[in-house]
Structure 1
Amino acid sequence: MWFFPTVGVGVIGVMVGMVCLMSQRKSLFGALLSMEIFTLGVYVMIFGLVCFQGWLSSVCLIFLAFGVCEAALGLSVLVSLVRSIGSDYVGGLILGHF
C-alpha cells in the first residue's frame, strides 16, 4: 500500500509550505514560492487519494489547472508591483508606499 507514504509526503509539503509562508516577512516572491510548495503538497495528497480510491483522475488535472492559474496571477502581481514600486518588499505594501 503506497497510499499512506504518498499522503505523508503531501502532509509534510503542506506543513513546510505553511511554516515558510508564516515566516516570510520580507519579499513577496518568497511568499509566492511558499504558496507553491503548499499547493504542490495538496496536489500530492489529492493524487494519492485519487489513485488509492480509484476516483476520476480529472480531479488532479482540475486542481493542477487552478494551481497554475494561481501562480500566473501571483507572478503578474509581482511584476506589476516591481514595476510600480521598484522592489518586492512586503513592508512597502503594509505602509502604503505606492
Structure 2
Amino acid sequence: MWFFPVVGVGVIGVLIGGVCLMSQRKSLFGVLLSMEIFTLGVYIMIFSVVYFMSELNSVCLVFLSFGVCEAALGLSVLVSLVRSTGSDYVSGLVSGHF
C-alpha cells in the first residue's frame, strides 16, 4: 500500500526541517525556510492520512491556509527587520532596538 511511503516522506521532511531549524542561529531567512520545510512535511503527512481515510478533505485546505498565513507573517517580519537594521542577522539585534 502507498500510505506508509508517503507518510515516511512527510516524516523525513519534518526531521530535516527540525534539524535545519535548530542549526540556524544567524539568519532569520534560514529560519523561515526551515519552518516552511517543516510545514510542508506536516502537510504531506496530513494529506496522506486524510486521503487514506477519505474523510475531512477540507482539513488539508485549512492547514495549508494556516501555513500560508505563517509564511506571510514571517516575510513581513523579515522585511521590517531588514529595513530597520540593514540585515537579517538575528545575532546583531539588541532587544530594545527592534
Does the pair score TM above 0.5? yes
Q: Structure 2 CA distance, aligned partners of 1:92 and 1:16?
A: 26
Structure 1 residue ranges (4+ consecutive) displaced by more than 4 angstroms after TM superposition: none
* Residue 55 of structure 1: how far off its partner (Å): 1.4
Q: Give the number of equivalent residue pairs.
A: 97
- After superposition, residues 15-94 of structure 1 pair within 5 angstroms as 15-93=15-93
Match of 1:96 in 2: 95
| TM-superposition CA deviations, 1:28-85 (whole Å, max 9, x none) | 0000000000000000000000001111111000000000000000000000000001
What are structure 2's unaligned runs of at least 5 residues?
none
What are structure 1's unaligned runs of at least 5 residues?
none
TM-score, structure 2 as length reference: 0.95
TM-score, structure 1 as length reference: 0.95
